[in-house]
Structure 1
């Protein structure tokens, strides 16, 4: 029944505190409407009006104290801001802005429509982030807390940081990303200190180790792919017709053979990261055992993948310059593996932002709400 599906969708848009009650009432009213000589769509119209006008900041409606609701909405806004930036970087690589190939000679300009599709997704996420930030300020205004000013300043800092980063990212994406990170870290720290969110249950050692093993494996896979791309696949793609031995002999003869120190440091750091992650998951210190939830372990894994993929640019810089000078060619990527690593890194960074910043879907029960101190009123 179409009306029932629409009613369920409208009920799903309501805050958790009243969602189930309204859904049952509306479905019952729609089922009984024909007996009263009414169209079920009249119930849908009334439900739409309720969903539009309901006071979503009311603790009885949201199921949360106003302060907690503001924290949840601010986290959604921050996750959205980070996702928008990363999607815009992805669309830049995919030629959405300039009609030029963002990765050198890989022929992506012909499918710039995909970059524009990513750009459209960024616009949608940006609207969600803005609405969430406005909702956070409204919730804190309801709580009449001093944190209203803090959230306002945080929101302004995030907005300014994102705008500056996006302007620079159009020309130098790596620096744009570095600029926006401080704008995100400060509010995240504030939220972590002040947000008494319910934590997930502690994991058993087998589950912890399994998630850590998958995370470590993903990080080592992207590290291995980056090393192969920089030192094997890209040189062969850049100099077709030459063997790898001939390429390295040419680099050595021209004095452009890159130092292996950066490669050793890159591989060694991420190998140590994977080892520490596995050891901590297997034998965690007592003080942090309760923090090792599935979400945190998975978040560490995807963040590691994102950072390892970002490190590929620094890893390959010397090799690219050496190839350009020794063979009078471009230092840009010629192998498609470079694009794959870049996009995997951006996707992992988006996943890390969502895992790390989005609030838990669990809404505390009424008894739990009473244990959470609300903001004081003057």
Structure 2
């Protein structure tokens, strides 16, 4: 396949469901014909780009779904993208002191990605307004306009005050649960066997347990040694005890036991016959990523007491000094973002399965 063939196939992939295959075959045929006639195939590539840009992506005869369903699909994309941006911004607030441990480029990269995702999410919101105006319903347009304005205002607040990003966590989790539970399986899909479900879940269980083990070591060993490099671990704990700042292990133990149990429960649930209908391949991945992300995210709360004890005893900052803390945070943020981007957006095949209607 030549470069021109690859480009027109890639452009066709961006088209709505009903138009995708037809235009792909047509453009590939045109490229082959131009080659046989010794004409420039780049004119075909240019025409494909113009068509992809100008095609009416709200027309049911092009998308294969009603405008109502198209609004739902675009809002699901908006929720996934904006929720991902909120997760990253909140993560920057919690673990954002990357420059203190020599990882300033990582922090800037996360900030750029969060802004990029937020921009795409806002474009998805605007896309719903376009569909509403095409539908001719003034009431629908006004409702969607108010919703988009509220979302834009909320995202602006989160970008300025990232700690408010925690408000997006329950909303995002609820949206994922609704989206995943309402997702239809392809007509040709086969239910996973019991052992297949367990095998898909096991890597997420292993990663969550690894985070628990690394988190305990980070809070109780690695970070104290990095905070006070001139003392050994026994001297650090003795100094905190003498200053009346002995850390409470309750939070750390509760975090480790609870999330360790959650991680071990995942493959057990996946192997259960009673709820086998729920655990499709996609849902297992989303639930597994949420487990990993939540385990890593709550690690910060588990280590808060230890961080304050170290800060009050040795007059240091409350942030992490060991690189293991931000590493756990990045893993958690990545897992949550991927869960949002997998769990919320609609399947591409849905556009080809829903019968087009007048709305």
User: TM-score under structure 1 normalisation?
Assistant: 0.82
Question: In terms of mean alpha carbon deviation, does 128-137 or 233-242 score higher?
Answer: 128-137
State the shift of 1:18 in Å: 1.1
Which residue in the other structure is 1:279 paired with? 268
Which residue in the other structure is 1:335 paired with? 322
Q: Which has the bigger relative contact order, CA under 8 A and spacing at least 6?
A: 2
Match of 1:243 among 210, 214, 232: 232
Which residue in the other structure is 2:102 paired with? 107
Which residue in the other structure is 1:177 paired with? 165
Note the 1:28-177 alignment, pairs <5 A.
28-33=29-34, 38-89=39-90, 102-103=97-98, 105-108=100-103, 112-142=104-134, 151-169=144-162, 175-177=163-165
1:208 partnered with 2:197: yes
State the shift of 1:47 in Å: 2.3
Q: Distance in 2 between matches of 1:103 and 1:122?
A: 16
Verify the 8 A CA contact 1:92 1:115 in the aligned structure 2.
Answer: no
Q: Distance in 1 between matches of 2:316 and 2:3?
A: 62
Aligned residues between the structures: 355
State the shift of 1:235 in Å: 1.0
Verify the 8 A CA contact 1:154 1:187 in the aligned structure 2.
Answer: no
* Structure 1 portions without partners, runs of 5+: 96-101, 170-174
Question: In terms of mean alpha carbon deviation, does 351-360 or 140-149 score higher?
Answer: 140-149
Match of 1:316 among 290, 293, 303: 303
Verify the 8 A CA contact 2:179 2:343 in the aligned structure 1.
Answer: no
Q: Distance in 2 between matches of 1:273 and 1:340?
A: 21
Q: Distance in 2 between matches of 1:270 and 1:343?
A: 18
Task: Give CA deviations for 1:176-234 in whole Å, capped at 9, x if unaligned.
Answer: 221233554676677678x6644664321111111222222221211111111001111
1:304 partnered with 2:299: no
State the shift of 1:298 in Å: 1.4
Note the 1:341-352 alignment, pairs <5 A.
341-352=328-339
Q: Distance in 2 between matches of 1:121 and 1:327?
A: 36
SS class of match (2:338): helix
Q: Distance in 2 between matches of 1:189 and 1:302?
A: 13
Distance 1:211 1:233, change over 3 A: same
SS class of match (1:39): coil
Q: Distance in 1 between matches of 2:21 and 2:30?
A: 14
Over the aligned positions, Cα root-mean-square deviation in angstroms equals: 3.0
Q: Distance in 2 between matches of 1:79 and 1:42?
A: 36
State the shift of 1:132 in Å: 2.1
Question: In terms of mean alpha carbon deviation, does 134-143 or 25-34 score higher?
Answer: 134-143
Q: Distance in 1 between matches of 2:136 and 2:176?
A: 22
Which residue in the other structure is 1:98 paired with? none
* Structure 2 portions without partners, runs of 5+: none
Note the 1:190-205 alignment, pairs <5 A.
197-198=184-185, 201-205=190-194
Q: Distance in 2 between matches of 1:233 and 1:344?
A: 18
SS class of match (1:280): helix
Q: Distance in 2 between matches of 1:317 and 1:187?
A: 29
